[in-house]
Amino acid sequence: MSDDEIASLDGNWEKIQPADRAAFEFTLKLTRGPHLVNRSDVAALGKHFTPMQINEITQSVAGYNSTNRWTDTLNIPAEESGAFFRRTDQTKPNVELDSFLTPTSDLFAKQKSSLAPMKATDSARPPLEPFDGLAAHLKLVARRDPVLPLAPGDAEPAWVRLLKTFPVANKSKISVLQAAETKGKLDLRSKLLVAWTTARQDRAWYMLDLIAKRMAAAGIGMDELKRIDSNASTLSDKDRAVITLAQKMAVAPWTITDTTVAALRAHFSDFQVAEIVMHGCNAAFLDRVTETAQLPLENHAALRMP
């Protein structure tokens, strides 16, 4: 792509083909406002793409949302020299690594990004639904019909069947996501705090129901879950640091600072901090793919309120 073609992606879509524009608009919405994505967005894409293509677009966008949160939260430096992209045999790469040094054309010299968040409110989410009303809301979506293809079979969770529509590409991803639930050096409670907080912010109802079941299995009762849901001041500093990071990673990852991470390092090793971030990245991916697909709830019995 030329410099001008790349610059046009930053919001100047007037000359973009309709199919590409539909994909770009969906990408922006799923990235900045996953809580707003619904069946109509999939239907709009369906005017230009097959269901499997929409599946691929969704998983690709969700994957980048995951990766970007990993690199940005952990302050991973950029490749200044481009050496990472160079071939080991020293032959010239297929891309021009120094193209960023060319002057910006007059057409885009003064363009302001309409995509990059310029202030915290650019991705502000509405207030969370009352905790005591969650059970009723989950009941409403429990029997919805999925709008994207799933791999056949009933023995595996729907999110696994959704990813298995690309059995080769997603084989290792499914294994990593499943292993993350039980492996690693991070305690189970902290993992669940990240997953719950992110699903709540993203309005990822399938994942929220799944996590509620995992919390119940871990011995976290309704009263304790309600405290977690509101990040209550009565929680430990350790819990609140985890929840705060998860909220920022979900809603406005660009607002995460060294101070945010330092609050975690007071309670966790650097390895564990990285693992907390990884769980936030996993949640960003799963929330987006499962909710776009409108997955129905499985054996819905979580969050039975008195």
**Structural domains of the chain ordered from first start:** 1-306 (1.20.1290.10)
Pair of tokens at residue 63: 């994957």
pLDDT at 110: 81
Q: Where are the alpha helices (DSSP H) in the chain?
A: 3-8, 18-32, 39-45, 51-73, 134-141, 158-163, 171-180, 188-202, 205-217, 222-229, 237-251, 258-265, 270-292
Nearest to 260 by CA among 72, 94, 43, 48: 72
pLDDT of 306 over the 80 cut: no
Q: Residue 81 — pLDDT band, cuts 50, 70, 90?
A: low
Q: Which residue carries 């990235």 as its tokens? A: 31
> What does DSSP assign to residue 187?
-
pLDDT of 117 over the 60 cut: yes
d(CA 21, CA 196): 33
Do 147 and 42 contact (CB within 8 A), yes or no? yes
> What does DSSP assign to residue 85?
G
pLDDT of 305 over the 50 cut: no
- Give the percent of the chain with pLDDT over 90: 70
Least confident segment among 96-105, 124-133, 269-278: 96-105
Least confident segment among 48-52, 119-123, 251-255: 119-123
pLDDT at 88: 60
pLDDT at 259: 92
- Across the chain, what does the average pLDDT equal? 89
Work out the average pLDDT over 79-84: 61
For the entire predicted model, the pTM comes to 0.90
Q: With H, G, I as helix, E, B as strand and everything else as coil, classify residue 131.
A: helix
Pair of tokens at residue 206: 């399938």
pLDDT tens digits, residue range 148-173?
A: 999 998 889 999 999 999 999 999 99
pLDDT of 130 over the 60 cut: yes
d(CA 211, CA 175): 18
Do 291 and 205 contact (CB within 8 A), yes or no? yes
Phi-psi region of 85 (alpha: psi -120 to 50; beta: other; left: phi over 0): alpha
Nearest to 283 by CA among 197, 189, 224: 197
CA distances to 172, 297, 298, 299 from 154, rounded to whole Å, are 21, 13, 10, 12
pLDDT of 9 over the 80 cut: yes
d(CA 173, CA 179): 10
